[in-house]
Amino acid sequence: MDRIKQRTKRRIILGVCALAAAAVLILIVLGVKGLLHRGTDTSAGVEYIKAEEAGDITAIEEKIRLLEQQDGAGEEGRSIKERFAGAVVLGDSVAEGFEEYDILNASSVAAEIGVHLDELDGQIAKVKELSPGILFLYLGMNDVTATNGDVDRFVSEYKEVLTRIREEVPDAHIFVNSIFPVQKKALEKEPLLEKIPEYNDALKELCDSQTVAFIDNTDLVSDEYYEEDGIHFKAAFYPVWAEHMAEVASL
């Protein structure tokens, strides 16, 4: 709201400048007309007026453009925490990293280590209390193994979560994150995680059917961001992920 007021104020100032410039041009025109009555050659004066008029308009437009650029730069310069002020990330231990590494404020995170889709009562209650305008979900990694690779069961449980959230926080715009891929060493330890792409495909179809935004994170992460377990992420990854979500949600 402050940025809108600032832009309005600047436009008013520039408008006043434009009016002042117009007044000067009128005086010049009147002077030229006076010369016409005396039979004086006014071609140079007319050309001067045209040049001044074009120059004034161009200068004013340029000032407006520069001020809008400055406003835009101010918006882009906002911190991740500021951009997520009206948003909440609900999720598991991977999402919990936003708070652990102080990327987001505690009021923007409702995460719990090891949580499954059928264990979200406390987190949904917290989200309801916070009443965000934007809600990002990162769920499902733990459920790939909990459902023993049963994609249909996973979809059914996730659908129930979406229904509950819509009932409890009806004004929130929901964005569902895809499940992040894991490294080979994690697959060797838990082969069921190889089905993550299949789960993501099913999750995207669910989101499409529910008119919920789906955020594809498949190509977002690279090897240097992974922790030793090949599943969780180092602190450096979270700003990258947050920026990606912010762009999708236009934060």
DSSP per-residue string spanning 40-64: ---HHHHHHHHHHHHHHHHHHHHHH
Q: Which residues pair with 174 in a beta bridge?
A: 135
Residue 5's CB: how many other CB atoms inside 10 A? 9
Q: What is the pTM assigned to this prediction?
A: 0.70
CATH of the domain at 159: 3.40.50.1110
Tell me, yes or no, whether 30 and 125 share the same domain: no
Better-scored residue on pLDDT, 195 or 12: 195
Q: Which amino acid is it at 174?
A: I
Q: What is the pLDDT of residue 62?
A: 52
Tell me, yes or no, whether 89 and 136 share the same domain: yes
How many CA atoms are closer than 13 Å to the CA of 107, on its beta-carbon side?
11
| C-alpha closest to that of 138 among 99, 187, 191 | 99
Q: What is the pLDDT of residue 56?
A: 54
Lowest mean pLDDT among 26-35, 53-62, 166-175: 26-35
Q: Which residue has the tokens 């080979």?
A: 184
Instruction: Work out the average pLDDT over 221-230.
Output: 96
Tell me, yes or no, whether 107 and 34 share the same domain: no
Tell me, yes or no, whether 46 and 166 share the same domain: no
Q: What is the pLDDT of residue 36?
A: 39
Tell me, yes or no, whether 105 and 71 share the same domain: no
Quote the mean pLDDT of the chain: 81
Query: Domain boundary at 76, 98, 130, which?
Result: 76
Cβ(199)–Cβ(192) under 8 Å? no
Question: Can you give the three-state secondary structure of 110-121, one letter per residue?
Answer: EECCCCCCCCCH
Predicted confidence (pLDDT) per residue in 81-116, tens digit: 999 999 999 999 999 999 999 999 999 999 999 999
Our count of domains for the chain comes to: 2
Residue 83's CB: how many other CB atoms inside 10 A? 21
Tell me, yes or no, whether 111 and 92 share the same domain: yes
Query: Domain boundary at 48, 76, 104, which?
Result: 76
* Separation CA 166–CA 176 (nearest Å): 13
* Separation CA 121–CA 108 (nearest Å): 17
Query: Domain boundary at 45, 76, 107, which?
Result: 76
Tell me, yes or no, whether 70 and 103 share the same domain: no
Predicted confidence (pLDDT) per residue in 128-178, tens digit: 999 999 999 999 999 999 999 999 999 999 999 999 999 999 999 999 999
Q: Which residue has the tokens 């987001």?
A: 104
pLDDT at position 188 over 90: yes
* Domain with 122 in it: 80-249
Instruction: Work out the average pLDDT over 195-208.
Output: 98
Tell me, yes or no, whether 46 and 133 share the same domain: no
pLDDT level of residue 77 (50, 70, 90 thresholds): confident
Tell me, yes or no, whether 84 and 60 share the same domain: no
